[in-house]
Every structure is written in C-alpha cells, then in structure tokens.
Amino acid sequence: MNLWILAGVRTPFLRAGTRFEPLGAADLGRLAISALLARTGIDPGAIDEVILGCVGQPADAANVARVAALRAGIPANVPAATVQRNCASGLESITSAYERMAAGKGELFLVGGMESMSRYPLLYNDSAAKHFGLLAKARSPFQKLAALTKFRAKDFSPQIGLKLGLTDPYTGMIMGETAELLAREYGINRAEQDVFAADSHRKALAATEARAREVAPAHVGGEAVLNDNGPREDSTPEKLTKLKPIFEPKWGGVTAGNSSQISDGAVALLVGSEAAAARLGLTPLGRLTHYAYSGCDPARMGIGPVLASAKAMRDGAPSPAEADVVELNEAFAAQVLAVLKAFRDPAAARLAGLDHPLGEIAPEKLNRRGGSIALGHPVGATGSRLVLTALDQLHETGGKRALVTLCVGGGQGAALWFERP
C-alpha cells in the first residue's frame, strides 16, 4: 500500500520578526490550507483527517492543527491532530497519515506543518508565577498592595521561550553547541562552513523562479507577500567570515551566517491512496516508498540523518548515493558537512556508529534550490517543505527517486524516500 503525495503548497518562509510577525501558527496554517484547497478545488469534506506538525504550540490555540483547519474552512466533522517530533514534525504528519491509511482509518489526508517562531513567548520564573497568583487572588486594596510588595526584581526577568526550545533538556546543550561538537569530531573547519552557507544562498537565489511553484502569495495587513525573504545576495564567504562565532566565541566556527535562519511559515500537502487520487482526478506528485526514524546521542543530534538512512536501507530503501534528488536539512553547515562525510568516509561512518559508509551524495544532487541556511527553518514546517521541494525537482529533472532527511533536536534522525510516478 502506497501513500501518494497528491498536491502541495506553502507560504513564503520569512525571517522571524518580519512580515509574518503579527501571525500566530494557526494563522499561518490557515493560509497554507486555504491555498491548497484553492489550488486543488477539492471538497474539504472529502478529507478524512487533518494532521499538522507544530513544535512551539501556542497556548491560545490548543491542538493548533484543529484551529487552523476550522479557520481555513475544513468542516467541523473532519477531525484534526497536531503532531510534534521537533524538526521532523512536518515529516511525522506524512508518516502518521500513512500509518492511519494502512490501518484502514482513512484514504485522504491533509498534512503539513506550521511554525511562528516570531511568536514564541517569554516565560516567567516560578517566583514570579507565585506572586502573580497571589495578586490575582487578592480582593481588597490592602491585599493587592501586600501582594505587590512581594515582587522582586528577578521576577521581571523572563526566560526567552525560543532559547529554551532550542536547548536540549537532557544535555543542557543549545543546538549550536551540538553543531560545534560535530565540527570538532569530524574535522569541519570554519572556512568550509562559510563556503557551504554562501553556496546555500547562491543556489536559493538562482532557483527563485523554480521555488515560486511551491509558494502561494500570503496577504498580511492588506499587502501580498510573494517570496521567501531569507536568501541574501551579500552572503559570500568573504562577508560570512567576518561574523563572530556564537556558541564557542574563542575557537568555534558556528555563526549566525552558517546556521539555519529562525523563520515563520507553513506547508500544506494533500496525501492519500491511489484510489483517492483517481476519484479526485488528481495526478500524484510522487509516492512514499520507505521511511525510518532513528535515535542517537542528543549531544550529536546532527548526525541523525546518517543513522536514519542506514535504518531505512535495512528496511529495503536505496542507498543515499542512488537518490536523484537529496534534500538534507541545513540545521547548521557544520552538521550537514559532518553528515556528508559520514556518508562517504569509512572513519567518519564508524564515528557515527556504522560499520561502513552508505555512499557518497553527489554535490549536484544536494539541496539544489538552497536549504534552511538561506530559506529559513520554521521547525514544524520544514520537513513538509523538503518533501514539496524534492518532488517538484523530480518532475523538473525527470529523476525517479528522492531522499528527504534531517536531524532532530533531542537526538533523532528521519529519512523518507519518494518516487515520481
């Protein structure tokens, strides 16, 4: 039984704090779903379930997939679920749909992901929460004054939710520190990282017209947002080398310029059985053939794609070298370079935990339209974006197979294989 990708669209991916800042995750999800329904013209009542990924789910939109679906006009009788596997949440939505279909729980699903990293909250400490609680319970002016006198200066120093979300609670390492660890262990120097990052921007700029096929305009405040705003013409190796390392200031190589951008965006995909595609009169973009999720050391979470790809191969998937298109998420340049080295080099493969390399990925197959360093990484949506990008490239190039893989905060990897019909 195959899960077919029938259609897909995404919003532009925008740097956090720019044009999408007023929109929450549910708003971004609504935009993507509405665009998908408009492009396909399908009856939303034909959908069996909506499954969307979101990492930083908003407190004011519990089960944010349901909120986004209803706001986009999905009928109330169509259920919706939000899934969360950190950076792989957008992929989790796809494989969850496959598992439901295989279990006989539906034939047509709307999947994808959304993330508003601009709207991640500030969090107050326990002391502040206690004092705000006392203030809320106070009734008389005297009680309120007494409650106010208990506040201290430290109560007004909130923690940054985004920083907490990017910090592994098991190791205490922020994600950039895990990239620095891989850079040391796999011998990735600063110059290599900056060259890779600049190349991501170069490829993204060169593929602006091709990427437009993925994107639906989004209207914000009466104005249309048409394109991703992450790619930069001035991101050259010479410019990037001037940036200071963030996580290891004295000797590190990971900078804001060779890391993925913090972004807002959403993706919607229509997936289902071959019979559902025939009923709707849709020509599928491709089919899911294999997938695997793997665990790894959280301190080395960036190496997850190697282990997930190896696990998929044990289940019958091709080797990474056999892919015609590879979308390997660019969490950090150092992380991608370590993964590529582990794919091809025996010593690096052993360091990653494998007996032998899986096969070298040709540079011309990798992230041909740029990656998250240039385009941004709205974490709940990125996995679905990689799939949409990979399938469009297969049709553009006439290729047959695509590998979509990424690392996952907390120490996991994901690898999904797709074929063009």
pLDDT at 145: 74
- Characterize 41-50 residue by residue with b for buried, 16 or more Cβ atoms within 10 angstroms of its Cβ, and e for exposed: ebebeebbbb
**Contact (CB, 8 A) for 388 and 214:** yes
The CA dihedral of 202, 206, 207, 209, to the nearest 10 degrees, is: 140
**Contact (CB, 8 A) for 381 and 115:** yes
Q: Report the chain (421 residues): mean pLDDT per 10 consecutive residues.
A: 96 96 97 98 97 94 97 98 97 98 98 94 68 76 75 66 74 94 97 98 97 95 92 94 92 95 97 96 97 97 98 97 98 98 97 95 97 97 98 96 97 98 88
Rounded-to-5 percentages of helix, strand, coil across the chain:
45, 20, 35
Three-state DSSP class for residue 32: helix
What pTM, to 2 d.p., does this model score? 0.93
Residue 313: Cβ within 10 Å count: 19
Q: In the structure, how many helices (H) and strands (E) does the chain have?
A: 16, 14
Three-state DSSP class for residue 289: strand
Which residues fall within 8 angstroms of residue 195, CB to CB, at 6 or more apart? 237
Residue with tokens 């899960």: 3
Residues acting as catalytic residues: 87, 377, 407
The DSSP code sequence of 172-236 is --BHHHHHHHHHHHHT--HHHHHHHHHHHHHHHHHTHHHHTTTB--EEETTEEE-S-----TT--
Token pair recorded at residue 11: 């919003």
pLDDT at 141: 79
pLDDT at 167: 83
pLDDT at 38: 97
Task: Tell me whether residue 206 is exposed, middle or buried, using C-beta atoms within 10 angstroms of its C-beta: 0 to 12, 13 to 18, 19 or more.
Answer: middle
Token pair recorded at residue 195: 């060259």
Distance of CA 415 to the CA centre of its chain: 13
pLDDT at 149: 78
pLDDT at 387: 98
Which residues fall within 8 angstroms of residue 105, CB to CB, at 6 or more apart? 48, 49
Residue with tokens 């010479």: 238
Token pair recorded at residue 368: 């041909």
Token pair recorded at residue 290: 């294999």
pLDDT at 291: 98
Q: Give the DSSP letter of residue 366.
A: B
Strand partners, 291: 416
User: What's the CA gap between 132 and 367, in Å, rounded?
Assistant: 49
- Spell out the SS3 assignment of 296-312: CCHHHHHHHHHHHHHHH
Residue with tokens 């400490």: 125
The DSSP code sequence of 74-96 is --TTS-EEEE-BTBTHHHHHHHH
User: What's the CA gap between 79 and 404, in Å, rounded?
Assistant: 28
pLDDT at 164: 64
Indicate the pairing of strand 412-419 with strand 286-295.
Answer: antiparallel
For the packed helices 141-148 and 126-137, what is the interaxial angle rounded to 10 degrees?
170
